Amino acid sequence: MLPTTPETDLKDVTGSLPSDNVPQDVDLADLSTQAQKLLSTISTNSLVEDALWRDWMGMNATVRTITTAEKISQTWKERSEKRQISNLQILPGATVMRPLSGVSWVDVPFNFITQQSQSGDLEGIVSGTASLVRADDNKWRIWMLVTILECFVGQKNPDELVTVNSPASHSALHTEQEYFVVIVGAGQAGLSLAGRLQALDISYVLIERNKRVGDNWTSRYDSIRQHTTKEMNNLPGDRIPATSTARLRSSIEPVCPNRLPSQFPRLFSQAARSGWS
């Protein structure tokens, strides 16, 4: 068994939340208009000094976290020129967030199109959220930016999986069948990749050394906590809406044996089998 990962208290994590300076009567329609201007030409003036940008392959080739206004504005400029951002739109649904006493900001959703290949024949649909706060000079600026590559234009949505009722047999993995992708490990990353490949009709085989999907969590991590909002803790075909009252328990132990093996092998049974290596 692998050694357990030590627990880190949330108060020891670096960073801070914005103060509660969002007025009770804030005009969300006007703020959405301001967000459009801030996002159209992101610069150091668009961001608070300690801003954070989390990009899930929307603008970069990998998942990246960029901090400080200077680094974000420089990286955004470089990546937007390379990705050729177009059709940036502010979406309905701007929301005042007050998760804790003395903390507030405004989330403004948006999306845009990017070029995902040098030849220009693959366009990506990127969703995003700009979290706005009112700075010391009373101007609205971006405190946090999140961008996510959702899917490709003209391709199937990776969250709309086709359920396969008959799982692949264990012996099928030892035949001469060819797969375009081999995924080693049925953890969070492996399951997510498998679901997206299945939605895109790309053949794959998912192999896992443990007897059950999710055992790599239960055998290693004794202190898993949900550090992000529940709508960000999804697997393909299993979206948790932001309005859901469901909560991930403080320990993953009661969740994995019940939820993962029953839900995901059924969805990913195109070629996935646990207990084979």
Residue spans per domain, the chain: 13-152, 170-274
Q: 272 and 234 in contact (C-beta within 8 Å)? A: no
Q: 99 and 15 in contact (C-beta within 8 Å)? A: no
Return the axis-axis angle of helices 256-267 and 188-199, rounded to nearest 10°.
20
Give the pLDDT score at 228. 56
CATH topology (fold) of 13-152: Nuclear Transport Factor 2; Chain: A, (3.10.450)
Tell me how far the alpha carbon of residue 66 is from its chain's centroid. 15
Tokens of 66: 């960029």
Question: pLDDT per position in the chain (277 positions), as tens?
Answer: 445 555 656 566 556 789 999 999 999 999 999 999 999 989 999 999 989 999 998 998 888 999 999 999 999 999 998 888 999 999 999 999 998 899 999 999 999 999 877 776 789 999 999 999 998 888 999 999 999 998 888 887 777 766 554 444 444 455 567 889 999 987 777 877 887 787 777 888 888 888 777 676 666 655 555 555 555 566 666 666 555 555 444 444 334 434 444 444 444 444 444 444 4
Model-wide pTM > 0.85: no
Amino acid at 201: D
